[in-house]
Amino acid sequence: MNDDREAILSRVRGALAPLRERAALPTYDSEVAVMRGLIAGRDLVELFCERARRVGAVALSDPAALVARLRAESRFRGYCDPVLWPRLAPYFAGGDFQVEVTFDRTRVDDYGFGITRAAAAIAESGTIVLNDTTTSTRLAALAPWVHVAVVARDAIFSDISQAVAALGHDRNVVWCTGPSKTADVEGILIEGVHGPGTQIALVVDWESSGL
């Protein structure tokens, strides 16, 4: 059995060996990808929040509203990116919340929510963009039922092509458009199977450098 396993892994490693270099970004006509007439002149925060709600996400701009929502859903235990916690801690004061700044992989089911930084957001599609540079722990963004992505106002791009051009070369970029969804062959939509069942975008006025 071990010989068979090693033979399979050896073939996988051999197939991946030529792929060490990052593939070039595809070329496309950005005018085709964007309905610029509907975006021009719109406030990007307002448009992003509108589109996020259309795809089933929750868009908030007040940390107090976030805390109220978590309390209403009895989600008192969670994780927060340690960079964000000094800004958010005053809103969680009161004793009923248990918020950790280190995500314990051995207790993954204990976390009712995870709060992480977003690299960007896209107004056109209501998308939240996560990457390895800004996400303190990928598991905290994917495992809890509620994921809160903190988005800086000045990190909201108007459209997908603008975001692709600006986000650099992080090797792991996750585009989250609403909560995790899947449907079986009967067309029954189920949320929260491969990721969060509730995706919240908390838009803040903090400078990106402060995130």
Unique residue bearing structure tokens 């970029």:
173
Q: Tell whether the model's pLDDT for residue 186 goes beyond 80.
A: no
Q: What is the mean pLDDT of residues 26-32?
A: 59
Q: What is the pLDDT of residues 107-140, one digit of tens each?
A: 999 999 999 999 999 998 999 999 988 999 999 9
Average model confidence (pLDDT) for the chain?
86
Q: Which two tokens stand for residue 79?
A: 């994780």
Please give the pLDDT value at position 11. 86
Tell me, yes or no, whether 165 lies in a domain. Answer: yes
Sign of the CA dihedral with 5 first, then 8, 12, and 14 last: positive
Structural domain boundaries, residue 74: 37-210
Domain annotation covers residue 28 = no
Residue pointed to by tokens 């006025």? 205
- Mean pLDDT for the stretch of residues 61-72: 96
Residue at 176 is within a domain: yes
* Residue 93 resides in a domain: yes
In a domain, residue 32? The reply is no
Would you state the pLDDT for residue 194? 77
User: Which of 48-52, 106-110, 191-195, 197-201 is least confident?
Assistant: 191-195
Number of domains in the chain: 1
> Has residue 96 been placed in a domain?
yes
Q: How far apart are CA 145 and CA 179, in angstroms?
A: 9
| Residue 25 forms part of a structural domain | no
Q: How confident is the model at residue 209 (pLDDT cuts 50, 70, 90)?
A: very low
CATH value at residue 189: 3.40.50.10420
Domain assignment of residue 7, yes or no: no
10-20: pLDDT as tens digits: 888 887 777 66
